Structure 1
Amino acid sequence: MKLVIGDKFNSSWSMRPWVLLKHFGIPFEETLIRLGQPDTKAKILEVSPSGKVPCLITDAGDSVWESLAIVETIAEAHPEHAMWPRDAALRARARSISAEMHAGFADLRENMPMEITTRAPGAGATPGALANIARIEAVWAECLAKSGGPFLFGEFGIADAMFAPVVMRFNTYAPELSATSLDYAKRVTALPAVAAWIDGAREEAR
């Protein structure tokens, strides 16, 4: 399979399926399209009907776009990995918070965009962004308390991959967080697949 992504520095949607594939050791071909270039849109439209990245090209040649659809497709293709919790109730909860991440938190996205190699403590701390952060912290705290960690539902899975770009934002803007959130963010950042994405972003910045 092939995963078409945008710049690792700031393509938060691309990060989610990439980290998932890397973490579970699933082979894939990476195609990176530089964003903000004169031919960016045309290149993306060659593979993604939505004109956006990421886009997964399956082994059958089908295009799958939108991060949540991509990770669902990956999970279906690899049932040997517990990307979603095996327990039905926990799986429903994991899907709910992943969908909330996919559709929500607009103020955080707008005011604290993912810029992995940037450090700007305190920037973007609008009331709306801070309200989004409070909700995210509540989600994390509840999931970690129920699962016992180290990740949201025990072992790293789709829900964690969906929130990984939020961790990158927290690393950049350093909002005030609870000890629980800080510890979780550190674990996500230290994950080899996430560290590899960060390394790629640093290479782009050179």
Structure 2
Amino acid sequence: MAEATLTISSKNYSSWSLRGWLLCRMAGLDFTEEMVDTSDATARQELLLLSPTVLVPRLIHGRVQVWDTLAIAQYLNEIFPNAGLYPEDIAARSHCRSISGEMHSGFYNLRSALPMNLKARHASFKIFSGARPDVERIKVIWNECLDGHGGPFLFGDNPSVADAMYAPVCTRFRTYSVQLDDRLEAYVDTILDWAPMKEWTEGALAEPDEIVELEVEF
């Protein structure tokens, strides 16, 4: 199979990089990580401006270049159809796509209020009113999935694209001590104890402390 490279940014701060990376791990793709140096002023400016010269995450696989997390998910599903990225049942698969798309295109207030930071822990954190509906909506999504499929992942025994899309939210909820009931806490534990997630977290904790958090969520 052709060689693959995934361009990512800070493992501590970049939620979109995490999503793309998890999808590649779930698919079983053999890939090399290429890190964007966020300490470089030019790279930081390009990221902040969403410049097409630094598309994160970006997967290069042979002659294929694909960016945007959901586009990466669709590409990986095409080349690894047996990887189980989406549920087999058509209704569950449609639901998975819908909630993944909702995360992809929404929850702006949550992103602003609770930026991903795996190194941080806040015993108490006041969530501003604009982000609270986002938090409540995510609780509804998770409960609907766990009601319908029994856990421990959103669509049953195995992780799906939806779990990759909501994994950064699990880190945010833990970082900012968002109050959850026991079942949703158990789901967060499932994601944070998931082997690929633990591997990513180890990389995040090993990043130099001098990496400066970008002024926007990316």
Counterparts of residues 1-150 of structure 1 (less than 5 Å): 1-40=4-43, 49=52, 51-60=54-63, 62-123=64-125, 125-150=127-152
Q: Secondary structure at the match of 2:7?
A: strand
| TM-score in terms of structure 1 length | 0.92
Q: Structure 2: any 5+ residue segments left out of the alignment? A: 210-218
Q: Is the 8 A contact 2:125 2:176 kept in 1?
A: yes
Separation in 1, partners of 2:39, 2:95: 36
Partner residue of 2:188 out of 154, 174, 185: 185
Q: Secondary structure at the match of 1:183?
A: helix
The structure richer in helix per residue is: 1
Instruction: Note closer, same or farther for the CA distance 1:145–1:50 as it changes in structure 2 (3 Å cut).
Output: farther
Q: Structure 1: any 5+ residue segments left out of the alignment? A: none
Q: CA deviation at 1:199?
A: 0.3
Q: Percent identity among equivalent residues? A: 38
Q: CA deviation at 1:50?
A: 6.2
Q: CA deviation at 1:53?
A: 0.7
Could you tell me which amino acid in structure 1 is paired with residue 29 of structure 2? I
Could you tell me which amino acid in structure 2 is paired with residue 156 of structure 1? P
Could you tell me which amino acid in structure 2 is paired with residue 120 of structure 1? H
Instruction: Note closer, same or farther for the CA distance 1:42–1:64 as it changes in structure 2 (3 Å cut).
Output: farther
Separation in 2, partners of 1:23, 1:120: 30
Separation in 2, partners of 1:143, 1:196: 26
Q: Is the 8 A contact 1:144 1:150 kept in 2?
A: yes
Q: Is the 8 A contact 2:119 2:204 kept in 1?
A: yes
| TM-score in terms of structure 2 length | 0.87
Q: Name the structure 1 match of 2:172.
A: 169
Q: Is the 8 A contact 1:121 1:173 kept in 2?
A: yes
Instruction: Note closer, same or farther for the CA distance 1:173–1:142 as it changes in structure 2 (3 Å cut).
Output: same
